Chain A
Amino acid sequence: MNNSDSHSAGVSELSPANIPAVPKTASPKAAALKARLGRILAASGVKSADRDDGPSHFTLGVDRIDAALRGNAGIDGLPCAALHEMHAADKSDRTSAAALALLLAQRCRALQPAHGPILWVSDNGEARRQGRLYPPGLAELGVEPSSLVHVDAPNSIAALRAAADGVRSPAMGAVIIELSGKKPRGLDLTATRRLSLSAQKSGVLCLLLRTGSDAENPLPTAAFSRWQVGPAPSVALAGNAPGYPAFDISLLRHRSGLYGLSARLEWNRDDQVFREQQEQDTPQSGTGPVLAAVRTDHPGTRAA
């Protein structure tokens, strides 16, 4: 925000139209109720109105999915100031999950006025075995590699701590924390709630990227939404060349009780937008794009 902006804001506040008819100090009860409402709204993903740096939600760019994610907040897409979980469908699908997390972070920070950097925190072991981030590949996906700060934490506890510090800092555009294994040490309800609350406070998107997690019985977390991500056969280009990056995503959990949402997405690097895959010509993959019935207010899916 520059000086002229703040100046004009100050003037408008003093203009007669904005002077409240009732003095603010009149009703402490109203203030308490307002604060309580703010807390409830924050918990359900609606950002409080007193911060005005960018919109409160980011979209994937696919209307069907964005509308389906509306939930209780009534705004398309996913809230920026929240923790979301990305689970790799299989141990070997880490790259797909990582790419999706990266691209969501990119979509979110593109909305911010300051385009803060992405803090990528990974615990040590997996990077050695499963390959490390390759900056030219980031650039090929449309994410500027120099906007990434990579933290190679020695273990999962240090990684969670570093991520918590990152989420607390409003300078960050997004924080991605990558943890592998069925039950990483330190990852529990408390740790994720801490991340989630910090994200709500600072407005920084936090993505928890999990590989090798137990799909049947995932760890309880305080995440706003949980997604399962796997690769999908791409639409071939001319000469049977592999096409655009394609993902199979499905929503496992959402705080508004949505479930059953799944889609096959393609990433368009040039427009920085997802789109639904149009044609399907590989019978081996089995599952086509599922146009899911979305139900809300399902009581069973509210529990973490």
Chain B
Amino acid sequence: MVIMAADRQAVALGLGPGMKLADARARVPDLLTFDHDSLADANLLSRLAEACERYTPMVAVEPPDALILDISGAAHFHASEEALAQDAEDRLDAVGHGISWALAGTPDAALALARHGLKEGAEAQLPVAALAMDDKIHQALERAGLYRIGDLAERPRANLAARFGMQLTVRLDRILGLEDRPIDPLRRIGNIVTERRFAEPLTHIDAALACLSELFAEAAERLNERGQGARMIRMLLFRCDGDIARLGLETGAPTRDAALFQRLLRERIAALNDALNPGFGYDLIRLSIAAAEPLAPQQLRLAGGEDRQGDEVALVSQLSTRLGRERVQKFVAADSHIPEQGLLALPALNAPAPVAWQMQRCGEPPVRPLHMFDPPQRVQVIAEVPDGPPHRFTWRRKTHQVIRYEGPERIASEWWQRKDGQQPGNGGLTRDYYRVEDARGRRYWLFRHGLYGEEKANPDWYVHGLFA
């Protein structure tokens, strides 16, 4: 067992990560130890990353213990970049996290400097271990008399690459700031971000909501300039004690309508599991448009008639916001002849444009049921001949006499979906569907699962749907 992390007191006693537990116990017999919970560590790190979004929207997590903040052009609320970093250190210190930070031109340089406790411009003094390569390579470098990054920087890259691999030269260039690397931020930033900072934190929800409405109006103006409307809106409310409330909204169609936004926002807040709690107040509120789509400026009708399309979208958006997007559905035909796979129930918020369903005049009664059981329900059937139509069936402990029937409609399985489905016997069971009517006039859709004698010795029967 090895120590993964140690607190300040333990470090003062000379213990540290990487030390064997037995050695540590030998030095400090009454050592308190806990099992390492990497998941909790990762959670904590991502929570800290979210908290750091107050400084810049570009925050990336660098496991296991680092965060990278891209603060290019984000330091204007602070006196300098150093002041911003100092502010972050103070805030994290207040909640019990000691950090070491560094500023640099590239993420790798900043990481290496921060991990080795150096400040900007000291890249050359970093030990070769800062390259974060294999231990053997670090040893080989040291054996060759190259102890610092500065020693490597002067060497011709070709020789280093030939001896230690390309990877080393790439990392070296990144630390020296010769090559940049894109970071992978927690969240894709919206292309429109509006925010308000408050010297005196807002302690009332109503004030915060009014602020969000104002922010949306600002964003809507900018959307209008671009001829776009918002589809997805993200809101962040930063509490001054570090807690963050996150709200997201989605609309069924691009919108710039402030009234609709307010209605959806109220729905969203009413649907929250734990209500918004301003605590000591919000000191920063940010609203970003995470997804936007083209929306041409609309002309109001001369007669003052209502906008039906818009009303429908507004209703769908409102219901989806209140109940969750999966609960408001539109039906779309899918490309499959298996009855239960022939449709998709997609969220109505982003369902594709309606495609006309196949409906032709035929003078026949419906051959597909109005209600379907998925999965089908087992029934006990008595048939006159084993591969014939049902004569009587028992479903939910009630026996139904079949008065009329039509069938079978044979629906084969999708053998091409199965491994070796083209081989005889591997393609899955065929279904024989019957439309039957019982004495009371109820109409059922029954099927026999498997061809009698060929695919199955004693096929089961199921009820798959109910007709009107």
Q: Given the complex, which residues of B lie within 8 Å of A192, measured CB to CB? A: none
Return the chain A residue nearest B316 by Cβ: A149
Q: B353: nearest residue on chain A (CB-CB)?
A: A146
Complexed CA–CA distance, A167 and B359 (Å)? 28
Q: Does B355 contact A (CB under 8 A)?
A: yes
Q: Check if B440 is an interface residue, CB within 8 A of chain A.
A: yes
Q: Which residues on the B side are within 8 Å of A145 (C-beta)? A: 331, 333, 343, 357
With an 8 A cutoff between CB atoms, is B404 at the interface?
yes
Q: In whole angstroms, how far apart are the Cα atoms of A150 and B155 in the complex?
A: 69
Minimum Cβ distance to chain B for residue A5 (Å) = 8
The reply on B342 being an interface residue by CB < 8 A is: yes
User: Contact: A232 with B308, CB < 8 Å?
Assistant: no
Minimal beta-carbon separation of B342 from chain A (angstroms): 6
A172–B315 touching, CB < 8 Å: yes
- Name the one of A1, A5, A242, A267 contacting B443, with C-beta atoms under 8 angstroms: A242
If the complex has contacts A148-B331, A171-B315, A285-B440, are A137 and B366 also in contact, measured as CB distance less than 8 A? yes
Residues of A within 8 A of B443 (CB): 231, 234, 242, 245
Q: How far is the CB of B274 from chain A (nearest CB, A)?
A: 18
Are A162 and B323 in contact, with the CB atoms below 8 A? yes
| A98 interfacial contact with B, CB 8 Å | yes
> Which chain A residue has the least Cβ–Cβ distance from B340?
A134
In the assembly, what is the distance between CA of A26 and CA of B18, in Å? 96
> Cβ of B305: which chain A residues have Cβ within 8 Å of it?
1, 6
- Cβ of B329 within 8 Å of any chain A Cβ, yes or no, is yes
With A96-B468, A134-B372, A149-B316 known to touch, is A140 a contact of B366 (CB < 8 Å)? Answer: yes
B373 and chain A: residue at smallest CB distance:
A131
B200 near A: Cβ within 8 Å? no
Q: Please give, as numbers and ranges, the residues of chain A lying within 8 Å of B339 by CB-CB distance.
A: 134, 136
Report B267 CB to chain A, min CB distance, Å.
10
Which of B306, B329, B354, B403 has a CB less than 8 Å from the CB of A170?
Answer: B306
Interface residues on A, range: 35 or more
Instruction: Output the least CB separation between B389 and chain A (Å).
Output: 10
Q: Which residues in B have their C-beta under 8 angstroms from that of A284?
A: 403, 439
From known contacts A231-B441, A246-B441, infer whether A116 and B371 are also in contact, taking CB-CB under 8 Å: no
Q: Which of A131, A169, A242 has the most CB of B within 10 A?
A: A242
Contact A137 B303 (CB under 8 A): no
B174: min CB distance to chain A, Å: 51
With A6-B302, A234-B441, A245-B365 in contact, is A150–B345 under 8 Å at CB? yes
Whether A233 touches B354, Cβ cut-off 8 Å, given contacts A132-B374, A169-B314, is no
- Residue A17, interface by CB 8 Å: no
B358 surroundings in chain A (CB, below 8 A): 139
Q: A140-B367, A233-B437 are in contact. Are A134 and B465 (CB under 8 A)?
A: yes
Known: A165-B318, A234-B437. A141 touches B370 (CB 8 A): yes
| Contacting pair B370 A137 (CB below 8 A) | yes
Taking a contact as CB atoms under 8 Å apart, the answer to whether B303 and A1 are in contact is: yes
Max count, chain A CB within 10 A of own CB: residue among B327, B361, B371, B465: B371
- Judge whether A117 is part of the interface by a CB distance below 8 angstroms: yes
State whether A170 and B405 are in contact (beta carbons under 8 Å apart), knowing that A134-B369, A245-B366 are contacts in the complex.
no
Asked if A146 and B367 sit within 8 Å, CB to CB, the answer is no
Residues in A whose Cβ lies below 8 Å from that of B303: 1, 3, 5-6, 9
CB neighbours of B359 from chain A (8 A):
139, 142, 144
Could you tell me the distance in whole angstroms from the C-beta of B378 to the nearest C-beta in chain A? 14
* Least distance between A172 CB and chain B CB atoms (Å): 7
Q: How near does chain B come to A275, taking the closest CB pair, in angstroms? A: 13
Contacts of A7 in B (CB 8 A): 302
Complex CA distance for A242 and B444, rounded to whole angstroms = 10
Contacts A231-B442, A240-B404: A152 and B327 contacting too (C-beta < 8 A)? yes
CA distance A165 to B323 in the complex (A): 13
Given contacts A146-B355, A150-B328, A165-B318, contact A137 B442 (CB under 8 A): no
B contact residues, range: 35 or more
Bound complex: CA A246 to CA B255 (Å):
45
Smallest CB gap from A169: residue in B: B315
A154 to B324, CA, bound (A): 10
Kindly identify which residue among B327, B366, B441 contacts A285, using a CB–CB cutoff of 8 Å: B441
Complex interface: stretch among A38-46, A78-86, A87-95: A87-95
Contact in complex: A170, B311 (CB < 8 Å): yes
- In whole angstroms, what is the CA distance A1 to B316 when docked? 24
Whether A150 and B330, one on each chain, are in contact in the complex, defined by CB atoms closer than 8 angstroms, is yes
Complex interface: chain B residues within 8 A of A99 (CB):
370, 468
Is A190 interfacial (CB-CB < 8 Å)?
no
> Do residues B439 and A241 form an inter-chain contact, with CB atoms below 8 A?
no
A201 interface contact, C-beta 8 A: no
* Minimum CB–CB distance for A236 against chain B, Å: 5
Q: A116-B312, A152-B327, A153-B323 are in contact. Are A241 and B333 (CB under 8 A)?
A: no
Give chain A residues whose Cβ lies under 8 Å from the Cβ of B256. Answer: none
Q: A136 contacts B302, CB within 8 Å?
A: no
B365 touches A98 (CB 8 A): no
Quick check: is B322 within 8 A (CB to CB) of the other chain?
yes
A119 — nearest CB in chain B belongs to which residue?
B315
- Known contacts A234-B365, A242-B405; A151/B441 CB under 8 A: no
Chain B residues with CB below 8 A from A242, complex form? 365, 404-406, 435-437, 443, 467
B357 adjacent to A146 (CB under 8 Å): yes
B146 on interface, CB distance cutoff 8 Å: no
**Chain B CB within 8 A of A239 CB:** yes
B314 closest partner in A (C-beta): A169
Contacts A140-B367, A158-B323, A242-B406 hold; do A3 and B329 have CB atoms under 8 A apart? no
CB within 8 Å of A: which residues of B? 301-303, 305-306, 308-312, 314-316, 318-319, 322-323, 326-333, 339, 342-343, 345, 348, 354-359, 361-363, 365-374, 403-406, 435-437, 439-443, 465-468
What are 21 A-B contacts defined by CB distance under 8 Å? A7-B302, A95-B442, A96-B442, A100-B468, A131-B372, A134-B369, A139-B358, A139-B368, A141-B366, A145-B331, A162-B323, A165-B319, A166-B315, A170-B311, A171-B309, A231-B440, A234-B404, A234-B443, A241-B405, A241-B406, A269-B366
Interface residues, chain A, CB within 8 Å of chain B? 1, 3, 5-7, 9, 92-96, 98-100, 102, 114, 116-117, 119, 130-142, 144-154, 158, 161-162, 165-166, 169-172, 230-234, 236-237, 239-248, 267, 269-270, 282, 284-285
5 smallest beta-carbon distances between A and B, as pairs: A99-B468, A171-B311, A140-B366, A131-B371, A146-B354
